Structure 1
Amino acid sequence: MPVPLLDVNAQNYPLHDGFSAAFERVFKTGHFIMGEEIAAFEREVLPITGASHALSLSSGTDAILLALMALEIGPGDEVLCPAFTFFATAGCVSRVGATPVFVDVLPDSFNIDIVDARAKLTSKTRAIIPVHLFGQCADMEAVMELANQHSLYVIEDAAQAIGAARHGTLAGSIGHFGCYSFFPSKNLGGLGDGGLLVANDNDLALRAKSLRNHGMEPKYYHSHIGGNFRMDALQAAFLRVKLPHYASYTEKRQANAAFYQEHLAKLPGVSFSSEASGTRLVLPQCGEGNTHIWNQFTLRVTGGRRDALKQHLLDRKIGCEIYYPVTLDQQACFAHLPESSLRGCEVSHRHAEEVLSIPIYSELNEPQKFEVVEAIAAFLN
């Protein structure tokens, strides 16, 4: 049977009446920019961020960009960020005129390697952006220790990890800013683009709030040059419909991940570590102290067989995707950066050649999950 990588309608259709009511509510007010829908969503989403202040935004990308602007990161500054992640993390650093310095990631968690980050510090380093990739937190104790020792700002890219936690502390609430995305594929996915920026520092939050709307405070008076990073009121209303279901969406993803781990681990050549003898496929795992929300379930296929497995699954109409086939230090748009920004990302390069994500969305049913497992078993046998 076909198994899509993601089926947003399977999640959204049951909420059709709620979406229709939200649309009618906003439509009748005629208030489509900012207003009560935005304020209500920001109040309601705050508990799953663990922060004191929340600003709804146009996208997760704009959340990173706004954080950098609020911290006055710019030309002459360097920002440490992982080489293995989505483009927006480093793209935003470049957009404010700063230089991204690419840091390698760890073999098992896919998250930033603080030993490598420490080795790449310079007198120009002003910030670090740990990415909580695929739904679990980076080692934030190590990140904050490094940041405190060298007076660095910390911007958590939690685009894929809203509700994930590190030793009980929610992703995004640990650094100076936390950034989230409501892209439709996320655990809390909207009906279009959307993002969120959170902070615990009142002054930083107020500055970001002003910059969100052209640096305007009060109306028509501009003390800073900001941007138009506002979320639409209609998008906020739709997210309010889905927010009460967030916990169940994540619990189902966690159950799906446990199913895969249990059944795939029984197959020959499958392990939780690439160091195990005869390993052909490495399963992802939840790091100690982490609460994983499984935005993606990402396999590592060793021996140069990743693309063959991908084609095998696609031939069986099973959705899969490579996140990410080209590391950031290898992107053409960053080729002009100094060698010191690009060196030493060997683990990231290996991941780019090995990773393959399989369906994990919360509406997967048991026959679909068995279909995925059986297809992988057929490939390995």
Structure 2
Amino acid sequence: MEFRDLHVQYNNIKENIHREIEEVLDSSHFIGGEKVSDLEAQLAEYVGVKHCVGCANGTDALQLALMVWEVGPGDAVFVPDFTFFSSGEVVSAVGATPVFVDIDLSTFNMNPAKLEEAISAILDEGKLQPRVVVAVDLFGLPADYPAIKGICEKYDLLLLEDGAQGFGGAIAGQRACSFGDISTTSFFPAKPLGCYGDGGAIFTDNDEWDNLLRSFAIHGKGDCRYDNVRVGMNSRLDAIQAGVLLAKLPVFISEELESVNRVAALYSDALSNCDLVLPTVPEGYFSSWAQYTVLLPDGVSRQDVQEALAEQGIPTMVYYPKPMHDQLAFENACEVPVACADTSYACERVLSLPLSPYLTDREVLHVCDHLKTIFEKSLRSRRN
């Protein structure tokens, strides 16, 4: 069993993928060009925004947004304490200070109440200027944008949506990657919509920011690539990856989102009586299920559970074992004005199970049966 089976997905649509790649090879236009433009147009239409800019990866996408906003030294950028490293890394990369915020254990996303507490604490301290909130759509579920956007408006902050794991999700019909002033996603192969290498995209309705993003992504170009009007970076989406995504996008929309939600629902039903805290999707929300992540009960060794499942050929992953504020890279280079107790708890107890749109009912029940057996043995052991 694969943790996220990309082989089955490839075999399902390989003729379309091969056709797209062959068209790129025949054109000999490997950077930018028609494939990238077509993909950007289709992504913007699907998400429901005016502009989409392809770039090299999801990390660059975040950093380019901060560069457009001229975020830098003296600025505070609020980031969930429970997320992948790049969400905070890009803040330090532009010279600003990441301020880490606790999560809501029921969604694993940024807790709006804790966000407002952190903003107030930074304002009271007076050393940094609050500028941006980076809200992450973790594990496929959009963050609480109705609340977070209200907080951003109250304190005049820019909102950057990190939709690296959330592409395809929605709130009340509004799709992920449309909630931020600028929003981003990643096309890393294991993401809900992934290419066959690195890739990313940036979304906005702002014409000026769109122009700046395109300039910064290609060495700060002006009218042409040899007219450099600002210091940028080299972050272009190559045409082969755009072709792969053009082949995948229609299937993602028409089949995979529905299928992965069916798989997640089967997990939740089969594990409903197990001693686990299962992931939830709030009313009105739609998840693209980048991961199916449970919280193990206290007293159960995560390592023992992983080893027991591995013996049955069942892979698992831990996203994420360490809070952002405990990463050595942020030592003396971040702020944590409000304790992040729920993040610390999650880091100790989370476990992600195999998940993909192509996981069969039999495979899901195989995982669930063995997981329940492990907990039954653990319960008997604790009673003895």
2:114–2:338 CA contact under 8 A, matched in 1: no
TM-fit CA distance, 1:300: 0.3
For 1:149, the equivalent position in structure 2 comes to 154
Q: Residue 133 of structure 2: which of 128, 140, 151 is its match?
A: 128
The whole-number CA distance in structure 1 between the counterparts of 2:64 and 2:78 is 17
Within a 5 Å distance, the mapping from 1:138-177 to structure 2 comes to: 138-177=143-182
Report which stretch shifted further, 41-50 or 252-261.
41-50
Residue correspondences, number: 366
The whole-number CA distance in structure 1 between the counterparts of 2:336 and 2:213 is 28
For 2:126, the equivalent position in structure 1 comes to none
Query: For 2:52, what is the secondary structure of its paired residue?
Result: strand
The whole-number CA distance in structure 2 between the counterparts of 1:161 and 1:73 is 24
TM-fit CA distance, 1:341: 2.9
TM-fit CA distance, 1:343: 4.8
Q: Residue 367 of structure 1: which of 357, 362, 368 is its match?
A: 362
Verify: 1:337 aligned to 2:344, yes or no. Answer: no
Report which stretch shifted further, 212-221 or 250-259.
212-221
Q: How high is the sequence identity, in percent, across the aligned residues?
A: 33
Counterpart amino acid of residue 186 in structure 2: S
For 1:274, the equivalent position in structure 2 comes to none
The whole-number CA distance in structure 1 between the counterparts of 2:180 and 2:19 is 37
The whole-number CA distance in structure 2 between the counterparts of 1:10 and 1:342 is 46
TM-fit CA distance, 1:225: 1.1
The whole-number CA distance in structure 2 between the counterparts of 1:246 and 1:125 is 37
The whole-number CA distance in structure 2 between the counterparts of 1:53 and 1:202 is 8
Verify: 1:311 aligned to 2:318, yes or no. Answer: no
Verify: 1:250 aligned to 2:257, yes or no. Answer: yes
The whole-number CA distance in structure 2 between the counterparts of 1:169 and 1:193 is 26
Report which stretch shifted further, 363-372 or 348-357.
363-372
TM-fit CA distance, 1:223: 2.0
The whole-number CA distance in structure 1 between the counterparts of 2:295 and 2:261 is 19
Within a 5 Å distance, the mapping from 1:1-381 to structure 2 comes to: 3-121=1-119, 122-123=122-123, 124-219=129-224, 220-247=226-253, 248-265=255-272, 267=273, 270=274, 280-305=275-300, 306-337=302-333, 340-341=335-336, 343-381=338-376
TM-fit CA distance, 1:312: 1.4
1:59–1:181 CA contact under 8 A, matched in 2: yes
The whole-number CA distance in structure 2 between the counterparts of 1:36 and 1:11 is 25
The whole-number CA distance in structure 2 between the counterparts of 1:310 and 1:47 is 41
1:48–1:162 CA contact under 8 A, matched in 2: no
2:80–2:102 CA contact under 8 A, matched in 1: yes
1:213–1:226 CA contact under 8 A, matched in 2: yes
Counterpart amino acid of residue 239 in structure 2: A
2:118–2:338 CA contact under 8 A, matched in 1: no
Counterpart amino acid of residue 211 in structure 2: L
Report which stretch shifted further, 294-303 or 200-209.
200-209
TM-score, normalised to structure 2, is 0.93
Which string of whole-angstrom CA distances, capped at 9 and with x for unpartnered residues, describes residues 191-224 of structure 1? 1111010001111111111111111021122222
2:64–2:216 CA contact under 8 A, matched in 1: yes
2:17–2:244 CA contact under 8 A, matched in 1: yes
The whole-number CA distance in structure 2 between the counterparts of 1:147 and 1:222 is 34
The whole-number CA distance in structure 2 between the counterparts of 1:17 and 1:35 is 22
